[in-house]
Amino acid sequence: MTNEQLQIRVEQISHDFFKKPFIHKAYFNNRLRTTGGRYVLKTHNIEFNPKHYEMYGLDELDGIIKHELCHYHLHIGGRGYKHADADFKNLLRTVGGSRYCRSVKPEPVRTPARYMMLCQNCGMKYMRKRRMDTSKYVCGRCKGPLKLYKMEEANGTQG
């Protein structure tokens, strides 16, 4: 979807659901990371995260458009446009906009633990990515001495 198509879609949703015109600009902003869209108070423009459309499709984008248009029309009309305001919550419920958008962050790749510290008294295991000097630390449960194993050694000794 291009910015021109997005502009037409926002104007159409504004007309159909809010019965008011959208006379400012709507466009995609690739720099948005943690949000689906943003209503800019100073310019009255609305920015959208293109990743939401790419990952979840048109229905998700329509929900975000309705959400941002609630901010837009309430702010222009001098009513409560913030998330906590009753005017905003009521209008959002009326038009069927999304309260929250889904995450577009990829799941972080966790590096597996390479070391294991084992308490010599109680057997408590501490998994670590980095090697540690066990002479400086004791078990958090029983204060017993710790012994360091590489994961290959730890798997071999337990199995």
Catalytic residue among 47, 68, 107, 152: 68
Q: State how far the Cα of 26 lies from the Cα of 101, in Å rounded to an integer.
A: 18
Specify the pTM. Answer: 0.67
Model confidence band, residue 159 (pLDDT cutoffs 50, 70, 90): very low
Tell me whether residue 107 is one of the annotated catalytic residues: no
pLDDT tens, residue by residue, 47-98: 999 999 999 999 999 999 999 999 999 999 999 999 999 999 999 999 998 8
Q: Which domains does the chain have, with CATH numbers?
A: 3-95 (3.30.2010.10), 115-158 (no CATH)
- Higher pLDDT, residue 119 or 108: 119
